[in-house]
Chain A
Amino acid sequence: MNKTIVIVGGGPAGLEAAAALGSSPHHVLILEKEHNTGGKLKNWHHLFPNFADASEILKSLEKSLPLNNSEIKYDCDVFKMEQMDGNLLVSLKSGEKIKADAVLLATGFDLFDAYKKEEYGHGIYKNVITSSELEGMFVNNSFPDQLKDGLPKKIAMVHCVGSRDKKAGNMHCSKLCCITGVKQAIELRKYLSKSSVYNFYMDLRMYGQHFEELYQEAQEDYGVNFIRGRVSEIAEISDGKLQVKAEDTLSGRPMKMIFDLVVLLIGMTPATSAASIAQSLALPKSGSGFLAPVHQHISANETCIPGLFLAGTCREPLSLQESITDARAAALKIIEWLKLKDNH
């Protein structure tokens, strides 16, 4: 019997899950809150660690969507869900209600609001930008004029902005900013070859395939500097230059340095769009507010609500590759669940 599967979120995880569910006879409905799919991926230029073109990847994700049994609804804001006779009733802000046999939450993440780290002055000093804004500059090839004139510039990359920070309310490590910082440092060196780039880090978590190699490449081939110390504060001095203070912990001395541009490597925080859904279903959350699965190790895609599944960064910070793998795993679980439901 054909069933309805609702996927909340048309980012990479949602798209991949829909593709994976394409082989099943069920009807797949993607509810996307914006008016196009792709989530955060569409704002990204190149991906670590191999500088793959993000738009190409997005295209291939969108291409693999099954035509026969899937449907995407744009501009739908899901705000509530309730359990009803073994099914889930999905309420949209527009007032529409959809009955679903299974729901997959692929609501993704929000970027940390760098503004909350007041001492870094994002939104106050115009040359303090976030990694995502820098990526936007790469996408649109729209660099501020002062970076274009070809003179040597000093650029600081500040790691762990809004991650591993009780003050910012995030104890978790976003784990991807490290490699993003390395990747963007290399891109900046390519784009502004006369510039020097300094990465201020606490630990570099190069956990993925080819991450450590890229880190070494940044040092060896691109001359990117790495200083082990968390930046304490950024202050604007005359003509928009920025004074950055940190401790060079490896030599145990406080230091200051003047930069032309500071890039804040912002972490991932739980998506606010998932908060009301989680609240309506009393879905438990992890320490930092990501949605908690039943079991972190063996049932990472299942929740305590029957028929409700999780995929991608709504449950923890994941790389694109991990999100996609995760989405496929979730799709498998959904098919299993619907079979089980049939048998009863």
Chain B
Amino acid sequence: MSEWGFTVIQTNQSDMDQMDRGLIAKIGNAEPSIFWCIGCGSCSATCTAAQFNNFSPRRIIQAIRSGQVKDIMGEVNKCLLCGKCQLVCPRHVNTRNILLNVKQIMGQDAI
């Protein structure tokens, strides 16, 4: 649309009714503790990978739960599975297994 000089912008607003329930269904099944997360962020605070990039386990869990999983793979690949997240979680969320599952599921989907 060069003649207009502008285009319609896609909305940023997430429509929760249209969200992708696929991943959360699979992961919730494999690791139900994903539902216990209260978003406190202690996992992101201790995360080894997060010291070097904008990786955030809390955000990933959030994204899976709200079905915004489009760009999640690139993010999940930053995880080192070092397990500190699990050690600090006040709700006993097995964040490491959640991330591992995402890696596995997304890897399979990719094939």
Contacts and interface: CB of A to CB of B under 8 A. Distances in A.
* Chain A directly contacts chain B within the complex, with at least one CB pair under 8 Å: yes
Interface in B59-77: 59, 62-63, 65-66, 68
The range of chain B's interface size is: 10 to 19
B87 interface: no
B39 A228 contact: yes
Interface in A241-294: 245, 248, 250-251, 253-258
A220 B35 contact: yes
B80 interface: no
Prevailing SS type, chain A contact patch: strand
Interface string B5-47: 0000000111111000000000000001001101100000000
Contacts of B58: 250
B16 A251 contact: no
B31 to A, nearest CB: 13
Given A248-B14, A250-B59, A255 B66 contact: yes
A254 B16 CA distance: 10
B36 A219 contact: yes
A216 interface: yes
Given A227-B66, A255-B66, 11 more contacts: A216-B91, A219-B36, A220-B36, A248-B62, A251-B59, A253-B13, A253-B68, A254-B14, A255-B13, A256-B14, A258-B17
11 contacts: A204-B38, A220-B32, A223-B35, A250-B58, A251-B66, A251-B68, A254-B12, A255-B13, A255-B14, A255-B16, A255-B66
Interface of B: 12-17, 32, 35-36, 38-39, 58-59, 62-63, 65-66, 68, 91
